[in-house]
Amino acid sequence: MRHRGGYNVPLQGKPSREVHVLPPPETLYLPLRSRRLRFSQVCVGEGQEVRPGEVLARDVGDHGVPLLAPRAGTVRLGAVARHIVLENVVEAEEEPFDPREEAEHIPKGMGATGIKRYKLLELGAWQFFCDAHSGQVPNPFGIPQAVIVSTIRLEPFLARGDVQMRKRLSSFTRGLEQLQGLLEYQPIHLVVPDVKSEFAAKVRETLRGYAWVKMTQVPLRYGLDGFHVLARALGLKRDPDRPVWGLTAEGVLAVDRALTLSRPSTVRIVAVGGPGAGKAVHVKAMAGYPVQKILEACEVGERVRVVAGGALTGEAWPPEQMGLDTECAGLTILPDEVPRKLLGWARPGWNVQSFSPYYLSHLRKPFVERLTTGVRGERRACVSCQLCEEVCPAGIWPHLIHKYLYQDKLEQAEAARLDLCTECGLCAYVCPSKLELLQQFQKAKADIQAELAEEAEDLEEAAAGKEVGQ
């Protein structure tokens, strides 16, 4: 594989490898939305008693992906807006899941494979799958051209693959075997870090005998771990009818849990890191766990900004969201400082990480930066330094696309391959002009999709009108 771009961002507050198990909560606050999912179809009623693994709601727009009850409890629907609240939460035995009872939902001709895939969907494991090119949830009953399993996750601060696998390597290998059973002749590309460590060597040695797994080593540079980048490097082209499935180490473990143990996937390992966290750790918590209790357990003080996700691609935690959503893999805690520092333009940058060689910090040995919410210096127009182009793992020219979008030239931006943007956030991080490139590109891609959808709707209406005329 050929690699270009990528950049590691050394930030203060890296979580330790140990996983802390949080105490059982009394109440769970399950959000009805996450980064990709919208659970619009509520399947329970007010005051209903539910058991672990029971379906609370579904995302009808994403193949019916369910929101599952992590524990037994009493449903409250109106207590908190856009949440399903479970009160009087207790542990209870999970009822055995028999997918054959729902056989009418399984496409004919898929047999045992269809049953397994339906089981993954109903037990909450399918939400860990993504289309490598689009990032969306793929069709559970579709046929992929290949599967990419990545054991690396390099954005700070998200739960890392080595932390997920360290004490569950046998479960991971068993999950790979279960995954292979879902396929026919499609290959599984296993992506491992190109590093020399005892654990990495153990993983490679354990999986060396799996002839149906194609192992690929990738340099530890953030941006190169994105599924879109990996698919292109492996020569796997975008095909709407035959997507490339992407799956992290956590997803393979969820596959094992669902198909080997017939248990739902309701608990995640979440990284809590950043300079604002008194204890930077990984925590094991279920969906709906009160976020405030997580912050208290990690000794997070006042005047901080909680970011849902990583330091480069995360978004400010919505103040109205009270519990962990089903996709949260990390909480980044940043000191919330004033937007500007006094005479910030005159500071030489000794304590500031920069990809640019023109900061004074370039003379220092490698160090970790204490990232805050403060803006250092002034925002300004693009200076065409091309640093964004150097770090871009997709091989596009972010500075050119930015200029097209600034002039409202959406078609030219699309022709410059805006669609290849992986939304890793590196271009915005290294930009000395502090341009919000990530948000700009995300909005432009959404606008393009909206235009395409509108054009498709117009074509359908025109075709329908033609049939009526005939």
CA 184 to chain centre: 27
Tokens at 397, concatenated: 């020219």
The pLDDT value recorded for residue 377 is 62
Give the contacts of 383 (CB within 8 A, at least 6 positions apart).
432, 433
Backbone angles phi, psi at 308, to 5 degrees: -80, 105
Task: List, for residues 423-444, the tens digit of each pLDDT value.
Answer: 999 999 888 888 899 999 999 9
The pLDDT value recorded for residue 108 is 65
The pLDDT value recorded for residue 359 is 72
> What count of Cα atoms within 13 Å lies in the side-chain half-sphere of residue 414?
13
Q: Which residues of the chain have pLDDT under 70?
A: 1, 95-110, 338-350, 375-378, 466-470
All domains of the chain in start order, with CATH: 126-263 (3.40.50.11540), 338-372 (no CATH), 379-470 (no CATH)
Contact 413/465 with Cβ under 8 angstroms? no
Separation CA 204–CA 208 (nearest Å): 6
Q: Is 467 helix (H, G, I), strand (E, B) or coil?
A: helix
Burial of residue 10 (number of CB atoms within 10 Å: 0-12, 13-18, 19+): exposed
Contact 159/18 with Cβ under 8 angstroms? no
Contact 332/273 with Cβ under 8 angstroms? yes
Query: What residue type is 52 in one-letter code?
Result: P
The pLDDT value recorded for residue 347 is 54
The pLDDT value recorded for residue 86 is 96
Give the contacts of 15 (CB within 8 A, at least 6 positions apart).
157, 271, 272, 273, 280, 281, 282
The pLDDT value recorded for residue 461 is 72
The pLDDT value recorded for residue 413 is 92
Tokens at 217, concatenated: 């080593």
The CA radius of gyration of the chain, in Å to the nearest whole number, is 23
The pLDDT value recorded for residue 468 is 62
The pLDDT value recorded for residue 140 is 92
Give the contacts of 287 (CB within 8 A, at least 6 positions apart).
28, 30, 67, 68, 70, 266, 267, 268, 323, 324, 325, 326
Separation CA 171–CA 254 (nearest Å): 9
The pLDDT value recorded for residue 198 is 78
The pLDDT value recorded for residue 456 is 73
